[in-house]
Structures are given as C-alpha cells and as structure tokens.
Structure 1
Amino acid sequence: MILAVLAAPAVAECPAPPDVANELEGLFEEARAAPNDQAGRLVSNQMWQMWLRAPDAAAQEVLERGMRKRDVYDFAGALSDFDRLADYCPLYAEGFNQRAYIHFLREEYGLALVDLDKALSLQPRHVAAQSGRALTLMRLGRIDEARSQLEQALKNNPWLSERFLMAEGGPLAPAGEDI
C-alpha cells in the first residue's frame, strides 16, 4: 500500500520536511565543544539520525530500502529508489544527498554535484552533503573549491572523517608558502 502512494505522487503528496534548524544548531554546538573524536562521532551520528528522518512513512520506507540496496552494491536499485524519493519528496534534502552518493560511487561526479547542489539549496548546513560535495569537487580536480567546501563543513562539525584531507600532505591541505 505504501508503494502505491509513491508510485502515484499526484494522488498523495509528501509533507514538508520538519524544520530542524534549532536541533541542527544545537548539534553543531555540541560538535564544536566535543572534547575528542569519540564524543564528536557520537554527535555526528545524531546529525545523521536527524537527516535520515523522512517526512512520512512512505518516504522513510523508500529511503531505507534504497540504503539497504546501496549497502549490498545494488547501485541501480538504490538509484531507482532515490529517484522515486526525490520525485515524491522534492523538498527533502536527504533524498538528493543519498542519490548523489550513488552517483559518486558510480563515478558520475557531474550528476553527483547536481544532486549535492540541490540538497544544499534545501538544507544549506547539511554537513554530510557539504563534505560529499568537497569529495566530488576533489574528484573533478577542482581543489580550491573542494577545500573551501570542506572548510565550511568543518566549521559546524570539526569531527568529520574528511578533515584528514586538509592535514599537511593531504590532497586538500592549504597551499604552503613558496621558498
């Protein structure tokens, strides 16, 4: 029955995603104040749980099914589910972020960038989409843009695993002074 709803979005509409701005700001503050990597990871996991709350049960089912398919490398099946989710819930940033991840895994970086830009237009402080965008830009050879994007993400969550890309010798490390 739930699948019928997603098969016919003209009949049913996805509700607007909840406003998570206050919850997100609180999590950013916790992440910035975290004393170590373990505490920072716990806060990062809370952010993920927030983003993975779909607007309704039908969308949640498709999101979770797509993620299960992705986890077993059924990228075509996952992409189909995330296409359905993006069509049904065009205001839900995580649908676009998940679809972008499939494109990234398939090395379709241009398509990933389109979906990441859409996700960030809907949820500008989605640090997972920001870090995914940084990785995508890096793969496209757009290093300065990638570095700038990752810096934005790290301002809100300094514990992202991608932070190591900016360490000395890393592919996004700030340029050193020339001799």
Structure 2
Amino acid sequence: MTAMRFFMFSTLCLSLVLFGSTPTVALAQTADKASMDASSTAFTTPAERLDKLFTELKHEENPDAARGIADQIRREWQDSGSATINLLIQWADKAIAEEKNAAALDFLDEAIRLKPGYVEGWNRRATLHFKMGNYRKSMSDINQVLRIEPRHFGALAGMAAIMAQTGRDEMALKAWEKFLELYPTERQAQKELGNLAEKLTGQRT
C-alpha cells in the first residue's frame, strides 16, 4: 500500500454508511439479553471509542489485526451523523470516480460549510486537491484535518507524500515517524520511513 493509498482510502470508498436506530425488541427477555451482550462501546461517545481504538492500534503487534482496528477507526471518522452530509460525500465520491473534479469540490465545500468539524470532509478535499496537483491547497486541508484530529494517520501519510514529492525529505520523515507512533505495525509506512532515513543518512555523509 503506497502513501497515497492511505491518504486516498476514504475517497476510493464509494459506499455510503447509513445510520439507523436499533430495532425495538418485543420480548423483555430478549431485550435483557441484548443489554447484557452489548459491548460497553455502545454507550460511549465517538471520542471515547476512538481513544480506545487508538490504544488498541498502538499496542497490537499483529499487522492483520491492526489493519482491522485501523479500518474501525476510519469508519468512526466517516460517520458524520448527518444524512445530508452523508449524501454530499456520496455525491462527491461519485463525481471523483467520474473525474468530475469541479463538481466533487462543490459537494465537499458544502459538506465542510455545513459541518466544519467533520474531519472526513476536509480529508477528502485534501485528497482531491492532491490528485489535482494542488499541493498548497491539499496541505491547507491536511493541516485542518490534523487540527481537528491530530491522530489522523491518513492525513499524516498525505503530508509525508507531499513533503517527499516537493523535496522536503526531513519533514516527510517526521510525518512518517508520527504515523508510526499511532500505527506501529504498518509495513509500508515502515518501509517509507526506512527509505527516507537511508536517503538522508547518505546525504549527510
């Protein structure tokens, strides 16, 4: 998986997550059992769920298990909690897939205007700007992503990619180091970090 595949994960996922209410259980016994079986995370805030997932991600030594945790984190980020925002993101995804970038930017601009605290709106727009070669605008959106969620490893991968492509290898190295503090088992990130460290060492000798 390349650096930009991390960064572009959300953009490439075109399925819209629909958020509905839990069905009512008719029988009291079934309701009691459901309550007992329910994970405690059902009663936590999104921030608490993310904190728990990031703790698990940092300490998980199995790369495949860690990938599953990272996917859960991405799903948390993608959950806007708003049907309107979800629809705008779905339209943006479709426009990107059809290479209608101007329309996609309009949808993402509107999603950000309606919910400026929704991290995935900024992240997807950063990804699209990168795809269009607008590195300055992409970095501006990445910085906003990281202001909202400093642990956004996708945005850190995007930052590393931009820094590397613009010749700022030391800053790219720092971005990968931060990435691996959050997601230590990611092999491509390890490889990118190693390659940059070797390159910089060669430049200093």
Q: Taking structure 1 as the reference length, what is the TM-score of the superposition?
A: 0.78
Higher helix fraction (1 or 2): 2
1:42-86 deviation digits (Å, cap 9, x = unpaired): 111111101100131111111122123323433222222111111
Choose 97-106 or 53-62, whichever is displaced more: 53-62
- Separation in structure 2 between the aligned mates of residue 40 and residue 79 of structure 1, nearest angstrom: 32
Q: Which runs of 5+ in 2 are unaligned?
A: 1-43
Q: 1:142 aligns with which of 150, 168, 190?
A: 168
Match of 1:30 in 2: 56
Distance 2:66 2:98 in 1: 28
Q: Which of 149, 156, 159 is matched with 1:123 structurally?
A: 149
Pairing of 1:17-166 with structure 2 (within 5 A): 20-160=46-186, 161-166=188-193
Name the larger-Rg structure: 2
Instruction: Give the share of equivalent positions with the same residue, in percent.
Output: 26
1:100–1:116 contact (8 Å) kept in structure 2: yes
1:125 to 1:20, Cα distance in 2 relative to 1, 3 A:
farther
Q: Which moved more, 1:143-152 or 1:27-36?
A: 27-36
Q: Match for 2:81: what amino acid? A: P
CA contact (8 A) 1:54 1:63 kept: no
- Distance in 2 separating the partners of 1:114 and 1:36: 34
What letter is aligned with 2:174?
S
Change (3 A) 1:34 1:145: same
**2:89–2:111 contact (8 Å) kept in structure 1:** yes
- TM norm structure 2: 0.69
For 2:191 and 2:177, locate their aligned partners in 1 and report how far apart those are by CA, in whole Å.
Answer: 12
Query: Using a 3 Å threshold, how does the CA distance of structure 1 residues 112 and 120 change in structure 2: closer, same or farther?
Result: same
CA contact (8 A) 2:179 2:189 kept: no
CA distance in 2, matches of 1:162, 1:102: 21
Question: How many pairs does the alignment contain?
Answer: 159
Distance 1:21 1:128, change over 3 A: same
- The alignment yields a C-alpha RMSD, in angstroms, of 2.2
Specify every segment of 5 or more residues in structure 1 that has no aligned partner in the other structure, as ranges.
1-17
Comparing 82-91 and 71-80, the one that deviates more = 71-80
